[in-house]
Structure 1
């Protein structure tokens, strides 16, 4: 299982920050034919992204092409169990991607529409956000 983590981060620990509003970038299907769009603002960790990727790959039996449009750059810290308050911030435990409503998280191509819809539906069950399956607009 290849967990997504950044090779290098500018700061080892970062503050939580806000994750509100709608996506202004990464909000259209750019590479594939079908996409999985988030309808909520949420933090998605690297394990959830990997689980969704595996669900898609297993369903399409390694056919087609998949693009993962999100990457977990943000470290999340946690203090160990049974440690009293104070004495600084905890150590980084895992990495998350901050996803806004309207972000296209996964894209898929070179498969039939039924296969794509079912694969993305299975992937959506692995993620902590409500999702919508979208098709590339033909211009």
Structure 2
């Protein structure tokens, strides 16, 4: 699973989910992409599940790019712990996506293959997605 090698601070505030994506909203590397249609938080397990679904769908053909990275730590307090005594320890990592963010890209495959691969990957993600082709 994806996680940062090292971070400046172990614990962070939750980022805002308001607004739209400014950068990272165009297909830059491949021919087709899957784009987030709503804002949300995608954890490293969901990114990995989507990546596996895409790679199994296209088999050996094509090349895939992952355009998001989980760099936000999510903390959690242990079970049956009383309130107070500070913030919990980092439990997992997540990526913040805004409407328009390109999540994955594919190149070297037919449009039908890419559409099917992204349909399968979309089922693994907690945000609505749409198919995108390079202009």
SS in 2 for 1:49: helix
Specify the alignment match of 2:76 in structure 1: 78
Deviation at 1:62, TM superposition (A): 2.6
Specify the alignment match of 1:99 in structure 2: 97
Specify the alignment match of 1:34 in structure 2: 32
Specify the alignment match of 2:60 in structure 1: 62
Provide the aligned length of Structure 1 versus Structure 2: 135
SS in 1 for 2:46: helix
TM-score by length of 1: 0.96
Deviation at 1:6, TM superposition (A): 0.4
Specify the alignment match of 1:115 in structure 2: 113
Specify the alignment match of 1:135 in structure 2: 133
TM-score by length of 2: 0.99
> 1:44-55 alignment to 2 at 5 Å?
44-55=42-53
User: Runs (4+) of structure 1 moved beyond 2 Å?
Assistant: none
In 1, the alpha carbon distance for the partners of 2:50 and 2:15 equals 25
Specify the alignment match of 2:8 in structure 1: 10
Cα RMSD over matched residues? 0.6
Unaligned runs of 5+ in 2: none
Unaligned runs of 5+ in 1: none
